[in-house]
Amino acid sequence: GQCRTVCPTGAIVIKNENDKVWEVIHDEKKRVVAQIAPAVRVALGEEFGFKPGEITIGKIVAALKRIGFDEVYDTSFGADMTVIEESNEFMEKFKEGKGLPLFTSCCPAWVKFAENKYPDMVGNISTCKSPQQMFGSALKEYFKDKDKREGKETVVVSIMPCTAKKAEAAREEFEHDGIREVDIVITTQELAFLIKEAGIMFEKLEEESFDMPFGLVSGSGVIFGSTGGVTEAVITRLLKDKPDHTTKDIMFKDVRGMENIKEAIFDVGGIEVRLAVVHGLKNVNELIKQIESGERSYHFVEVMACPGGCISGGGQPVVYKEKDVRSSRANGLYKLDRMSQIKSSEENPLVASLFEGILKDRHDLLHVDRKSNK
């Protein structure tokens, strides 16, 4: 990722992916659907003179519409789905006392790292697909009948903060009967290039909102883009019956911030729950060693390969004053969370109706079998 400023082939990669986007946009038989990851909305603006952390999501949606996308949705919707599935999985394992700690699965660079370096840990990684893949498979299922009726083919284009998401979308287990869950992945930087290529004056665009039904998301789904976000979402769900300030105390004191390894220890129904949040592969290595030696012990571990989480992914605009930019971007996401009318993932009525409708009993669309991927 970070090599793009010095790597001469970087430009070619950018061009190739964007060419694929233009190709499907110009094909009348294709329904081109975008999903935008949370971290993109607090960083893309930097390419057009906005400050780090400034929220430009309305302009991003407007730009994608001008480029010719048929539907523009929010990957935070996929994150809401993931939170529900992952906290269910966690609660089950917690009750059984088996397969712990449960590691998160939303960062493909971490999953790959574990497969290569800690194959014995792979069985402890959540079976949940990442928000990108969960949402991709739900979108393909949602448009299946409509596509047939209209003689179209749905193409899912993700806009992601990192190139690891390209490798994830290309993995074998995310294709069923010749249909990929996510067809094209472009990074935040590539989208900036696409917007410039289209001659759009980004700064001047009137803001637009996401399309429905997948544009309605919770604050929990949005903060997925920062380190600690997945854990916050799971805590919000675990402590849903506790007063608001208890949950907020844990978030602000233990889960937010840029420390290398953070931990939150609290009580649910008289039982102590131990959660850890780690970001940056160097710190991940250290934490796993401490878990293996018994020095630390947890029930749940959130892992993000990039320092700070997806907000500083390798596909984001390059940052020079790393720390400030990271916190500004994270604060942008927390601001969106505060402004959001739906706080927790399970309060998202559209996710609930999807789970009761086309996704009912479709475990296959939402999970992968990690053990067989070893």
Q: Which residues are catalytic?
A: 86, 89, 106, 126, 165, 168, 173, 310
Closest distance of CB 208 from ligand SF4, Å: 25
Given CA atoms 266, 272, 273, 278 in this order, what sign does their dihedral have? positive
Give the bridge partners for 185, in sequence order: 158
The residues that touch ligand SF4, with contacts defined as CB under 6 A, are: 107, 109, 161-162, 164-165, 304-306, 309-310, 313
Q: Nearest approach, Cβ of 307 to ligand SF4 (angstroms)?
A: 9
Distance CA(370)–CA(127), nearest Å, equals 6
Full DSSP string of 75-90:
HHHHHHHHHHHHHHHH
Between 45 and 108, CB nearer to ligand SF4? 108
Q: Let me know: does 127 contact 151? Beta carbons within 8 Å.
A: no
Q: Which is nearer to ligand SF4, 164 or 222 (CB)?
A: 164
Question: Where does residue 323 fall: left (phi above 0), alpha (psi -120 to 50 degrees), or beta otherwise?
Answer: alpha
Nearer to ligand SF4, 133 or 154 (CB): 133
Assess contact for 368 and 173: CB atoms under 8 A.
Answer: yes
Q: Which is nearer to ligand SF4, 264 or 304 (CB)?
A: 304
Under 8 Å between Cβ of 102 and 95: no
Q: How far is the CB of 7 from ligand SF4 (least distance, A)?
A: 18
Q: Which residue's C-beta sits nearest to ligand SF4?
A: 313
User: Which stretches does DSSP call E strand in 11-93?
Assistant: 30-36, 71-74
Nearer to ligand SF4 (CB atom), residue 80 or residue 346: 80
CB-wise, 247 or 308, nearer to ligand SF4?
A: 308
- The least CB distance from residue 231 to ligand SF4, in Å, is 14
As measured in angstroms, the least distance from the Cβ of 1 to ligand SF4 is: 8
CB of 32 to ligand SF4, least distance (A): 23
Provide the β-strand partners of residue 32.
Answer: 155
Query: In 3D, which of 70, 84, 63, 72 has the Cα closest to residue 36?
Result: 72
Distance CA 328, CA 285 (A): 27
Residue 313 Cβ vs ligand SF4, minimum distance, rounded to whole Å: 3
Please, which residue, 71 or 86, has the CB nearer to ligand SF4?
A: 86
The rounded distance, in Å, linking the Cα atoms of 103 and 120 is 12
Q: Tell me the β-bridge partners of 232.
A: none
The single-letter DSSP state of residue 19 is: H
Q: How many CB atoms lie within 10 A of CB 240?
A: 13
Assign 271 to helix, strand or coil: strand
Contact in structure between 205 and 218 (CB atoms under 8 Å): no
**DSSP-assigned letter for residue 370:** S
Residue 52 vs 62, nearer CB to ligand SF4: 52
In the complex, what is the shortest distance from the CB of residue 314 to ligand SF4, in angstroms, rounded to a whole number?
7
280: left (phi over 0), alpha (psi -120 to 50) or beta: left
What's the first-to-final CA gap in the chain, in angstroms?
26
For residues 321 and 327, give the distance between their C-alpha atoms in angstroms, rounded to a whole number: 11
Beta bridge partners of residue 34, listed in sequence order: 72, 157
